[in-house]
């Protein structure tokens, strides 16, 4: 009996020592940084609803963890086996299985930034969306064609032109276009705050009218100090019943028809489109681009000036005028003479002997 007890005791000691050794090895493995991929970075997609086995297999195949056994051990020891979140994860340095599990449990998914400058159309934004690898431009256009997200503010909207706020957005890879569109409309709503809505109502402007004018201001100038002046010109013209004659509306009309090649010519001013404000009086049917808050504010607080004309100085700024005679002088100085002198200068430079 005594020998049996000694044997049992010995077995227990062996088992305890073995457990300690195995535990020590396992503990060392789950805390040991590992990197089995050769590139600068590695991406792993964790599908929605995937279990620990599938996730472990993907991590092993990607060279992020050494083995499924070690990964499962890290899961058990961390207590996060049910907390792993779906998404795409980026790995760029050696990480221990514990650190990998923690990353997935926190949902630290890889996100990319996409920037939409102000003054873009839906079609132009769609090209950026595709060029940044978020998905086909057609998906963006399709999502932006549903006006339901803005219907309460603009019952006449047929799409979301003008309501996709120009901003930088941070998104996980694989974010569907509809989700991005939702965020962009939400950002517009935040910019178009209650105080701006109240001012629009006080001035008898609908949201659609306000955003349409603001989109013209956005397209005409990038200079902060000129926004209120450009807004004044358009609002003054509307007040006296004068045609807006805005070049950006002609460009937009040509773009919608697939006929714009980067240049606007005199014959284009007769292009038959309700967006052509040279041909049709009043505002175009809707916004022609996405304005930012500064243009909305300028439209609601135009400068107190009598200007009804402006022309580019060809340096990003504009010169404004009240009478047609003043405007014609400005056109001659900053357009006709400017481009005539530019052509002559280019011709002289082209004809000059090499080295002079």
What is the CATH number for 128? 3.30.1490
Identify whether residues 158 and 202 lie together within a single domain. Answer: no
Q: Tell me the C-alpha distance between 349 and 356, whole Å.
A: 9
In a domain, 77, yes or no: yes
Establish if 338 belongs to a structural domain. Answer: no
| 85 within some domain | yes
Q: Considering the domain boundaries, does residue 323 fall inside one?
A: no
Q: What is the pLDDT of residue 10?
A: 53
Both 75 and 132 in one domain: the answer is: no
Name the token pair of 234. Answer: 């358009």
Q: Which of 175, 191, 207 is the endpoint of a domain?
A: 191
How many domains are there within the chain? 3
> Which residues of the chain are modeled with pLDDT < 50?
12, 14-23
Quote the pLDDT of residue 21.
Answer: 39
Does any domain span residue 56? yes
Range of the domain at 63: 28-106
Is position 248 within any domain? Answer: yes
- Rounded Cα–Cα distance for residues 186 and 171 (Å): 15
Give the model's pLDDT for residue 346: 63
Asked if 272 and 217 sit in the same domain, the reply is yes
Q: What is the predicted pLDDT for the residue at 80?
A: 80
Gap between the Cα atoms of 116 and 98, Å rounded: 38
> CA nearest 125: which of 144, 147, 111?
144
Residue 311 included in any domain: no
DSSP 166-197: --EEEEETT--HHHHHHHHHHHHHHHS-HHHH
Q: How far apart are CA 249 and CA 209, in angstroms?
A: 14
């Amino acid at each position: 009996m005594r020998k049996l007890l000694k044997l049992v005791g010995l077995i227990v000691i062996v088992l305890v020592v073995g457990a300690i050794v195995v535990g020590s090895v396992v503990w060392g493995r789950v805390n040991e940084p590992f990197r089995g991929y050769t590139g600068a970075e590695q991406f792993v997609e964790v599908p929605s609803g995937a279990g620990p086995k599938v996730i472990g297999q993907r991590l092993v195949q990607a060279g992020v963890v050494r083995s499924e056994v070690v990964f499962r051990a890290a899961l058990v020891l961390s207590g996060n086996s049910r907390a792993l979140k779906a998404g795409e994860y980026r790995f760029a340095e050696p990480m221990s299985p514990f650190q990998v599990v923690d990353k997935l449990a926190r949902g630290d998914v890889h996100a990319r930034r996409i920037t939409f400058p102000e003054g873009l159309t839906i079609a132009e934004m769609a090209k950026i969306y595709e060029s940044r690898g978020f998905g086909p431009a057609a998906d963006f256009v399709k999502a932006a064609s549903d006006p339901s997200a803005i219907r309460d503010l603009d019952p006449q909207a047929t799409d979301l032109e003008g309501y996709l706020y120009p901003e930088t957005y941070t998104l996980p890879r694989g974010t569907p276009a509809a989700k991005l569109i939702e965020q962009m409309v939400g950002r517009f709503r935040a910019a178009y705050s209650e105080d701006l809505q109240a001012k629009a109502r006080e001035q008898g402007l609908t949201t659609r009218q306000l955003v349409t004018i603001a989109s013209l201001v956005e397209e005409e100038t990038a200079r902060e100090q000129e926004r209120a002046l450009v807004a004044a010109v358009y609002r003054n013209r509307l007040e006296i019943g004068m045609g807006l004659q805005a070049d950006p509306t002609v460009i937009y009309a040509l773009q919608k028809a697939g006929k714009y090649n980067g240049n606007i010519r005199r014959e284009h001013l007769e292009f038959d489109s309700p967006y052509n404000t040279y041909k049709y009086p009043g505002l175009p049917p809707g916004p022609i681009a996405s304005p930012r808050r500064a243009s909305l504010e300028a439209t609601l607080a135009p400068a107190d000036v009598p200007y009804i004309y402006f022309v580019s100085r060809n340096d990003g700024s504009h010169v404004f005028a009240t009478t047609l005679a003043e405007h014609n002088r400005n056109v001659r100085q900053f357009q006709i003479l400017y481009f005539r002198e530019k052509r002559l200068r280019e011709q002289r430079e082209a004809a000059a002997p090499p080295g002079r």
